[in-house]
Amino acid sequence: MAETKREIERKYEATGETPLPDLTRVAGVAEVVDEGVMELDAVYHDTPDLRLAADAVTLRRRTGGSDAGWHVKFPVAAGIRDEIRAPLSDTLPGELAGLLRSRVRHAEIVPVVRLRSARDVRHLLAADGTLLAELSVDTVHAERLPSGAVATWTEIEVELADDVDDPALLDAIEKRLHKAGVHPSASPSKLARALAETGPAPEAAPTAGEPGKAGTAGAAVLAYVREQADAIVALDPAVRRDLPDAVHQLRVACRRMRSAFKTYRRVLDRTVTDPVGDELKWLAGELGVARDQEVLDARLRARLADLPPTLTLGPVEARLRRRDAALAEDARRRALEALDSDRHLALLDTLHALLADPPLRKAARRDARTVLAKAVRKDHDRLGGRIEHALALDPGHERDLALHEARKAAKRARYAAEAARPTLGKPAKKLGKRVKAVQTLLGEHQDSVVARAALREFAIQSHGAGESAFTWGLLYGREEAAAAATERELPRVWARAAGPGLTAALTR
């Protein structure tokens, strides 16, 4: 079973003769204990074209030390990585292979660098003996595989202990090292340095502007599409790891890309992008089971918590808990099955091919400001038409459906403005903010519609089991009231987003 460790560290240039300062002068460090030298031998793996390294992701099989095994590291922020560990084995464990699948796809994973390090370790302890950080002086011998090119260097690494997450301690240690003439390393990792010093470094993905001149509609739209494609690739392992909000963010990336294909169909050929959009809709739908369940669960629990105990009749919480557990397990299984499917892998291949050879139309060569502003205004007008239609209907099922369609249009208009923001600047930002408020209100309304359907099912099940259905009916009534309140609020919120000055400002 793989385990995860948050790694917070900093690296420094050094030589074999670099003296270390007295680190007991760092606030909080009472003692520095020499732990001796350990020998580490790690073989780093990647695709032949170094896809993992290009994304600052590392995969290694290491022997020696206290953590021998397979390790995958994902960047979190500067100097912070999540390390997922699996026990030592001859072949890459399937759980770790799954985490790399969105980047590797069909490519072979091969050894690319071998690093042998003599690690001289010192533990920095608090007065009570608590481990605060580990400082090591690493003498590294790197060998590029299979060429045999070599490089050697010495570096200092300071890593916070597992239960310590205070960057101020690292700042204080760095200040002492700086005074001793020790400076930060230019390389973010040993692997990055080894690749740079032993052969060709990983190639960065081509920028979205390459298919057309900077300032063109094609360059602007492709930049946004590439951003979403990168997010889909990066969020795949995050969903597998069950990280907070990962499912939601992956769905949003799918929706943003689909929306861009529709909004900017004068820039990108629909005969190519429509099938891709269908696959993105499929993936978002498979993930949506998990996300929708999360939202509904949180909403019903919050509503239940607002009730006084005297109005909670019958085994309400137990029934809600049983349903949530069963649905959550099924939703996660379905999401993982989608990510492991050949269909998802084919989608990733298609996105890669689309960005490598984008289906640009004639409008892609035109000025970005003109093309994008026109597309944003069109989506904004479309939203206005749907809201007007919905509010003209009587309250009830048909209006609920119409408001849901308006919500979809609000998302599309918001994403259109979001994609245009680098080109159109503050006017697009302001419009997007106002439309987001409309989307949020319509989302609240739709959440109430979904919650009422679930509450009705709870009431039916409770009645059939001989339990009181009073509480479910009470919650249903409160959801009806909440929905009515959003419908009354909608004209005011839309009026703020519908002002003619907002869209006119896009072309000023």
SS3 for 268-283, per residue? ECHHHHHHHHHHHHHH
Q: Is residue 208 included in any domain, yes or no?
A: no
d(CA 235, CA 278): 20
pLDDT for residue 209: 42
pLDDT for residue 292: 82
CATH number at residue 404: 1.40.20.10
pLDDT for residue 322: 84
For residue 119, the Cα-to-chain-centroid distance in whole angstroms is: 34
If asked whether residues 432 and 347 sit together in one domain, one would say yes
- The pair of structure tokens assigned to 388 is 């007007």
Q: Is residue 242 included in any domain, yes or no?
A: yes
Q: Is residue 211 included in any domain, yes or no?
A: no
If asked whether residues 73 and 133 sit together in one domain, one would say yes
Q: Is residue 210 included in any domain, yes or no?
A: no
If asked whether residues 194 and 221 sit together in one domain, one would say no
Q: Among 432, 440, 454, which Cα is nearest to 502's? A: 432
Q: Is residue 181 included in any domain, yes or no?
A: yes
pLDDT for residue 91: 96
CATH number at residue 16: 2.40.320.10
**Residues of the chain scoring pLDDT < 70:** 1, 201-213
pLDDT for residue 328: 80
If asked whether residues 221 and 175 sit together in one domain, one would say no
Residue 23 belongs to domain spanning: 3-198
Q: Which residue type does 6 have? A: R
pLDDT for residue 233: 98
Q: Among 227, 226, 252, which Cα is nearest to 239's? A: 252
pLDDT for residue 323: 80
If asked whether residues 46 and 129 sit together in one domain, one would say yes
If asked whether residues 243 and 385 sit together in one domain, one would say yes
If asked whether residues 243 and 372 sit together in one domain, one would say yes
Domains: count for the chain: 2
pLDDT for residue 201: 64
If asked whether residues 238 and 168 sit together in one domain, one would say no
For residue 445, the Cα-to-chain-centroid distance in whole angstroms is: 27
| pTM for the structure as a whole | 0.90
Q: Is residue 204 included in any domain, yes or no?
A: no
If asked whether residues 322 and 402 sit together in one domain, one would say yes
d(CA 260, CA 38): 53
Q: Is residue 205 included in any domain, yes or no?
A: no
Q: Is residue 206 included in any domain, yes or no?
A: no
Rg (CA), the chain: 28
Q: Which residue type does 270 have? A: R
If asked whether residues 169 and 247 sit together in one domain, one would say no
DSSP 24: G
